Amino acid sequence: VFRGPEVVKVFLGEHLTSRENPVQIYSLNEEFALARKNRRPSLFFIVLGFMIFLGGLSFALRHVIEKKAQEVSFSIPDFEDLNLAELINTAKNAEERLNRVREELEKSRSQMEAKLKSLEAETEKRIRALSQRKNLSPRERAKRIRELRQGQTQEKGKLQKNYQEQMDSRSKELSELESKLSAYEKQVQDTARRNRISLEKARQDYRVQAAEQRTHYQKELRETEKQLKLLEGKLKDYENRVSQFTDTHRNFKEEVENLRKLSHSKEEDLLLTRSQLSALQGTNSTITSSLEKKSSQLGHYEYAVDFFTRKRKENGYILDPRDPNRMIVAVNKSYAVGNGDKALVYDEEDNYVASVEFFNEDGELKARVLEKVNGKELEPFYKILVRLK
């Protein structure tokens, strides 16, 4: 049977030091200070914030799916191969040229008639002048009048020939333009008919695609809600572990203080303290491992959000617009966005609603509102269009 100092020798062995030598006192406060450095209290708030974000994401996705299922939107580029815009523009140019040719033809006709009238008036004036001259015999007067009439006829023929050539040329061009315009109008009508057929087919394809997307996103929503519930359960487990750790810390501290009062020697006190500390370090290691797992899961959810943004082929989305000066955003990683960069915000109907400016806060990209259209409030999952420099 071992008693007194012999018991100490059995348990401490070679670590037993002489009472005459100074003994290094184990400091519990120093050990807990080192343990606190390895803790990440911010992780709890990160997990809680991400849960709130997932809840908002689920609600926003449901709203977007219902909205998109009711929309049918098409743009002119969907029918660029039909060249309707180019055809209409060509017909418009042909019609403008037709009007100009008509005006030129009418102008030439008016000019010819004016010159003919002027020639006739000048001839009549000269004939009257000859009639009033007293020194001319009737035969001489008749001769000169015939000469004036012949000159008028010749000049009239030249004028008519000159203008007739111009009018014939413009009449020919006018006929050709009228034929082309008729052909263009027929092409426009045919193209419009084909466009209506293509548009109706596109609407039918869209309805089928929208139904498939609705089913797909509803499945994703259910999976997200499932992951959210799982994360809630793990968060509660984390809270319980933290509470247990706190209680263990407090009880251990009280127990150590009592043991110190009751211990008969520094060696026995050191042995008991190290035993309890080993148990505490095991608990701390378990909690640290759990926190690392939670951090890894957060990385998975961040990857899911980035994948969703790239899959929808958008520059990014507004995630939480409740604080217009510190909005939470998600931007496609293929865009290098930094402090001071600008972007435009569009709603689910592709209407421009606001402009924003990006900035970094504690390593996280956020955005502040610079301008709103008609004071319209921003909503989650409004699309972001980055303005490239």
Q: What is the pLDDT of residues 57-71, one digit of tens each?
A: 777 877 776 666 555
What's 355's domain CATH number? 2.40.10
Which of the listed residues 256, 288, 313 is the one where a domain comes to its end? Answer: 313
The predicted structure's pLDDT at residue 371: 94
**Is 54 within a domain?**
yes
**Cβ proximity of 273 and 26 under 8 Å:** yes
**Is 320 within a domain?**
yes
- 295 in the same domain as 338: no
Cα separation, 278 vs 34, whole angstroms = 14
**Is 49 within a domain?**
yes
Cα separation, 57 vs 126, whole angstroms = 99
pLDDT tens digits for range 85-100: 777 778 778 788 778 8
CA distances from 388 to 58, 196, 277, 343 (A): 31, 36, 58, 8
- 361 in the same domain as 219: no
pLDDT tens digits for range 143-170: 888 888 898 899 888 888 888 888 888 8
**Is 74 within a domain?**
yes
- 202 in the same domain as 326: no
- 363 in the same domain as 282: no
The predicted structure's pLDDT at residue 269: 62
- 240 in the same domain as 165: yes
Mean pLDDT within 309-316: 86
Cα separation, 192 vs 385, whole angstroms = 33
- 332 in the same domain as 207: no
- 375 in the same domain as 265: no
Report for 20-24, 188-192, 256-260, 331-335: range of highest mean pLDDT = 331-335
Look at 37-46, 137-146, 214-223 and tell me which has the smallest mean pLDDT: 37-46
Number of separate domains in the chain: 2
Which of the listed residues 259, 280, 313 is the one where a domain comes to its end? Answer: 313
**Is 94 within a domain?**
yes
- 367 in the same domain as 346: yes
- Give the 3-state secondary structure of residue 380: coil
Mean pLDDT within 124-135: 81
What stretch of H or E contains 316?
A: strand 316-320
**Is 123 within a domain?**
yes
- 322 in the same domain as 300: no
Give me the residues paired with residue 343 across strands: 356, 386
Which of the listed residues 252, 279, 313 is the one where a domain comes to its end? Answer: 313
Burial class (CB in 10 A: 0-12, 13-18, 19+), 306: middle
- 192 in the same domain as 48: yes
Cα separation, 344 vs 383, whole angstroms = 8
**Is 12 within a domain?**
no
- 330 in the same domain as 233: no
| Domain range for 35 | 28-313
- 257 in the same domain as 211: yes
**Is 8 within a domain?**
no
Cα separation, 238 vs 244, whole angstroms = 10
